[in-house]
A and B are shown apart, each in its own frame.
Chain A
């Protein structure tokens, strides 16, 4: 069971409050005991000081000083009178003046005295003055003695008044040495500051003076004996007398893990225009509350709160909680404030966050690996099986109870599970991102209520999904509008060489949507380069460039054999004005390049997505559902002809979780989805012409796409060789001093 922690006054160094550890549940009892002690002391001390005995003893001490004064000055006065010298108080001290018959001699009478008489009086005055000096020098010592006697008396009275109170507490807390030490310190402080507890007669103080006096002493002289219970493990409704009523340390979750909320803070109160504080204003942080057990923190919040991460690490590394302000932590503040005694820390901190944060911290923060040794990586999706679907149904039922939703019918549950697969972008997986599902469920409940249904069915869930999409799809609608108005040129019928419909996916916040994009290719004689125009103008990302370079490799290996490719192919995403990345368009780029080389047109009713490797295998891509739906929407708006469709990688089939209208159109043959494994399969569908397999001699069948491609490439190669030979012959002629013949009859340098 974790301990209770208190802060108590450090009487020797008040700016360094002491931490007091007590068994769980005992902190509240100790605090209550000290409150009662203070109440008892408030009554006992004034009562002792108002007693007749105290007054008598005080009068004796004060009277003794007066008597001392009177005796000393009375004797002096007597001697002065005998010497005819008057002692008179003046604004500049005491005056000693010559006197006769009890009256001060006037200046005239004094001057009229005989020289000897004046001298005798001067001597008397000189002598009396020295005696008076001796008395006056003694007065501070007498007064000091009187103060010490009064102080000693006050100590004695106070010690007696509070002694039994402290002894009672000590007996009760005898098994807690730290508490006993504190109680002894309290006793000593009470005795030492006995004067503070008296209420002096200050009727002469103005209200301002009284206010200043109170401010200088602090709000309450008894406050320093209070106990600031920082961590309390007694049950909220527990019996404060019964230490059995304790609660174990809970698993603490700090929702706002800024630095003060983590390590605690020192609050201040305004007083006479300034901010003051003491140990009672120390407030606990999450580390205090969770000390001895677990603390759950959102890693991102901790990292983004100023100084929180460093303070957390420092506390964990030092195994103690030291409360300090950010300004103190970085040495900006040098004014005197509290420096509470650090509290030992024994805690397990669980940081929750995205994997990326874990990897970043692991990479860049050397302390992280030392402090957070156990990593638990949770997936945000789970396999979709009969068991998990059933568990999901249970989960949905649970949510309906906790969220007080209408019950979900069989179709409603099924649609939610399908939506979970859609969120996972995989028909064989289920998303475990519960908040997204809950959002849909809540909205489905609303739609069911609007429709007067007591049960949430699939149509209500679909309405929620559609509504959510509709609220966010202004941009996709805008793009569709541009396509329908032929501002963005996307053809969905006919056939064209060197032009194909690619598919891209965009993400705006949580919304992902697909959009078709026209890719074109032009070829001419060249040095075997495939020019990525997007890259040339710095709009293409590295992954896209990688895909394009793979095309050149494919072409060389597939068609050039031992010969050198002698073409230059320029690839372009038409009407693309922002950056593109990814290799999901590489198969489309290869198709359009084959079309451009061969001159065989591509059906514009089809769109293509998928990456390709150097061997012509089509590979999986992301966002397949959004891409299909994006092209479907364009076709649907123009009218489904039954010819339209999308070529996707065969390995993406398992990811298909399409909208019901797309599924419906495909089911009725109005829209097609072609799973493709190789480029040959794809080009055949796109052109309607056999791709053609090469025979053992490396020749493709006549009439096939590949044959046409190979022929065109060979023609380009021959042409390239001819050009090279012609150029070489010119160079040889120049070396023999023969000017090359130019058709125009004029010499020209190569």
Chain B
């Protein structure tokens, strides 16, 4: 079950894509309990930087909807902090109201920012639908609460890393996990280990930061000074060619801790990783995504 609508004023055709980031559509997926205002503003700013269109995917989670009929479920009001009896009809009505409210909020932002947003509303299982929608976007944007059991209201980090990593593995495009800060204006942080995936991440960071002189900090993931020098020289040459404001830092093989510390030290930052980079893989990757306090882009 799905419906699709165009919101906001009509705009011109898709323009030429940027070098290194062959994205054409930014897909913003959110569940109905998220506050879409700040994240959507960030997505719009990012799409403008990438000359990309914005698509919205609003998911009515079947699992959540089914709770109304579940005989073993208890509902607790966060307003009155008391247990409440909720019938299926009232539950459905409250859900629809929330969806409409969110839709109006998106339309208002679309109108104010003069951006065309193709909004789809689908009733499905959340994670499966997001994975399925990945084919429709070059960049999938989910908020940090994605995958969290309370929809972000409680324990924002819970399971977010695992969910994001799973999504990145399944998705054909890149994935952006949004945190509080706006990645469109933040400094960029790249974890570089010389791999092809790291090269891709650096290219994406160059694309995002090169046009307006944003600082791109590269953490060189090696203890070897010699290796670090080689990588640094190579990156500096490319940065000079592209006019990047490049800062090099040497880390260690235990890069997850180094990344978390660097991100905390740099303030508002967007961490750019290759989706298949070892740092983003397996348990270490999940732990990193859970712990790091900034937005993360996994580049495929």
> Which A residues lie at the B interface, using CB under 8 A?
66, 69-70, 73-74, 76-77, 86-98, 104-107, 110-111, 118, 121-122, 125-126, 129, 132-133, 136-137, 203-204, 206
**In the assembled complex, B84 has its CB within 8 A of some CB on chain A:** yes
Report B80 CB to chain A, min CB distance, Å: 9
Whole-angstrom distance from the CB of A423 to the nearest CB of chain B?
79
Contact with B81, one of A70, A137, A204, A206 (Cβ below 8 angstroms): A137
Interface pair A92/B86, CB less than 8 Å apart: yes
A91 touches B98 (CB 8 A): yes
Distance (whole angstroms) from the CB of A120 to the closest CB of chain B: 11
Residues B59-109 near A (CB distance < 8 A):
63-64, 66-67, 69-79, 81-84, 86, 90-91, 94-95, 97-98
**B158 with A93: CB separation less than 8 A:** no
Known A-B contacts A69-B154, A73-B154, A74-B158; A90 and B64 likewise in contact (beta carbons under 8 Å): yes
Q: Are B64 and A88 in contact (CB under 8 A)?
A: yes
**B77 partner, pick from A69, A87, A92, A122, beta carbons under 8 A:** A92
Once the chains bind, are A133 and B81 in contact (CB under 8 Å)?
Answer: yes
Q: How far is the CB of B117 from chain A (nearest CB, A)?
A: 16
B32 close to chain A: CB less than 8 A: yes
In the assembled complex, the Cα of A95 lies from the Cα of B154 at a distance in Å of 12
CA distance A132 to B63 in the complex (A): 22
Q: Which of B87-135 contact A (CB under 8 A)?
A: 90-91, 94-95, 97-98, 112
A90-B64, A93-B75 are known contacts. Are A129 and B83 too (CB-CB below 8 A)?
yes
Q: Chain A contacts of B157 at CB under 8 A?
A: 70
- The total of Cβ contacts below 8 Å across the A-B interface reads 118
| Partner among B71, B74, B79, B94 whose Cβ is within 8 Å of the Cβ of A95 | B74
Q: Which residues of A contact B79 (CB under 8 A)?
A: 93
A-B CB contact pairs (8 Å), 25 listed? A69-B154, A73-B150, A76-B154, A77-B149, A77-B154, A87-B149, A87-B154, A88-B149, A88-B151, A89-B64, A90-B67, A91-B32, A91-B91, A91-B98, A92-B94, A93-B76, A95-B74, A95-B75, A96-B76, A97-B67, A97-B72, A98-B72, A104-B70, A122-B72, A132-B76
Residues on B with beta carbons closer than 8 Å to the beta carbon of A90:
64, 67, 75, 91, 95
Chain A's nearest CB lies how many Å from the CB of B77?
4
- CB-based contact B78/A110 at 8 Å: no
A86: chain B residues at CB < 8 Å are 149
Quick one: closest A residue to B31, CB to CB? A89
User: Please, how many angstroms separate the alpha-carbon atoms of A126 and B151 in the complex?
Assistant: 22
Contact indicator B71/A110 (Cβ below 8 Å) = yes
Instruction: Point out the residues of chain A lying under 8 angstroms from B66, CB to CB.
Output: 104, 106-107
Q: Which residues from chain A contact B33 at a C-beta distance below 8 Å?
A: 89, 91
Give chain B residues whose Cβ lies under 8 Å from the Cβ of A107.
Answer: 66, 69-72
CB-based contact A95/B73 at 8 Å: yes
- Mark out the residues of chain B between 1 and 56 whose CB falls within 8 Å of any chain A CB in the assembled complex: 32-33, 37-38, 41
Chain A CB within 8 A of B156 CB: yes
B155 contacts A by Cβ under 8 Å: yes
Contacts of B241 in A (CB 8 A): none
Question: Does residue B153 face the partner (Cβ distance < 8 Å to A)?
Answer: yes
Please list the residues of chain B having a beta carbon within 8 angstroms of any beta carbon in chain A.
Answer: 32-33, 37-38, 41, 63-64, 66-67, 69-79, 81-84, 86, 90-91, 94-95, 97-98, 112, 149-158
| B149 x A125 contact (CB < 8 A) | no
Bound-state Cα–Cα, A97 to B38, Å = 31
Q: Known: A88-B150, A89-B33, A92-B90. Contact between A110 and B82, CB under 8 A?
A: no
* CB pair A104 B156 closer than 8 Å: no
Given known A73-B154, A89-B150, A203-B41, contact A94–B76 (CB-CB < 8 A): yes
**Are B95 and A70 neighbours in the complex by a CB distance under 8 Å?**
no
Q: Which residue of A lies closest to B101 (CB)?
A: A91
**Quick check: A96 and B74 within 8 Å, CB to CB?**
yes
Give the chain B neighbours of A204 by CB distance below 8 A.
37-38, 41
Please give the distance in Å from B220's CB to the nearest CB on chain A.
26
A93-B76, A129-B76 known; A77 vs B67 contact (CB < 8 Å): no
Q: Which residues of B contact A97 (CB under 8 A)?
A: 67, 70, 72-73
By a CB distance below 8 angstroms, the chain B residues around A133 are 76, 81-82
Bound Cα distance from A168 to B86, whole angstroms: 64
Are B67 and A111 neighbours in the complex by a CB distance under 8 Å?
A: no
Supposing A87-B154, A133-B82, A203-B41 touch, asked if A93 and B70 sit within 8 A by C-beta, the answer is no
A124 to B69, CA, bound (A): 20
A129 to B74, CA, bound (A): 8
Closest residue of A by beta carbon distance from B81: A136
Given contacts A73-B155, A104-B63, contact A92 B72 (CB under 8 A): no
Q: Is A110 in contact with B70, judged by CB distance below 8 angstroms?
A: yes
Kindly report which residue of chain B lies nearest to residue A125, judged by CB atoms: B74
Contact of B91 among A92, A122, A203 (CB under 8 A): A92
| Distance between Cα atoms of A90 and B69 in the complex (Å) | 13
Verify B63–A91 contact, CB threshold 8 A: no
Task: Give 15 A-B pairs besides A90-B75, A132-B76 with Cβ atoms closer than 8 angstroms.
Answer: A66-B156, A70-B157, A74-B155, A77-B158, A87-B150, A89-B33, A90-B67, A91-B95, A92-B75, A95-B75, A97-B70, A104-B63, A104-B70, A105-B70, A125-B72
| A89: B residues at CB distance < 8 A | 33, 64, 150-154
B268 to chain A, nearest CB (A): 10
A643 to B74, CA, bound (A): 132
How far, in angstroms, from A96 to B74 measured CA to CA in the complex? 5
State the Cβ distance, A132 to closest chain B Cβ, in Å: 6
Q: How far apart sit A125 and B151, CA to CA, in the bound complex (Å)?
A: 19
Tell me the bound Cα distance from A91 to B88 in angstroms. 12
- Chain B residues within an 8 Å CB radius of A118: 72
Q: Quick check: A77 and B155 within 8 Å, CB to CB? A: yes
A121: which B residues are within 8 A, CB to CB? 72
A69 touches B72 (CB 8 A): no
Find chain A residues with CB under 8 A from B81 CB: 133, 136-137
Write the chain A residue with the least CB distance to B156: A70
Most A CB within 10 A of own CB, among B75, B77, B79: B75
User: A206 touching B112 by the CB < 8 A rule?
Assistant: yes
Closest chain-B Cβ to A302's Cβ sits at a distance in Å of 59
B158 cross-chain contacts in A, Cβ below 8 A = 73-74, 77
Minimum CB–CB distance from B113 to chain A (whole Å) comes to 10
A94 touches B78 (CB 8 A): yes
Q: Which chain B residues lie closer than 8 Å to A137 at the CB level?
A: 81
Known A89-B150, A90-B67, A92-B90; contact A69-B75, beta-carbon cutoff 8 A:
no
**Within 8 Å CB of B156, what residues of A?**
66, 70
- Minimum distance in angstroms from B298 CB to a CB of chain A: 23
State the CA gap A136–B150 with chains docked (Å).
Answer: 14
The 8 closest A-B pairs by CB, nearest first: A89-B151, A91-B94, A73-B154, A93-B77, A73-B155, A97-B73, A98-B72, A136-B81
Identify which of B74, B84, B152, B158 gathers the most chain A CB atoms within 10 Å of its CB.
Answer: B74
| Closest B residue, CB atoms, query A113 | B72
In the complex, A121 Cα to B82 Cα: how many Å?
Answer: 19
Q: Across the interface, do A93 and B78 meet the contact criterion of CB distance under 8 Å? A: yes
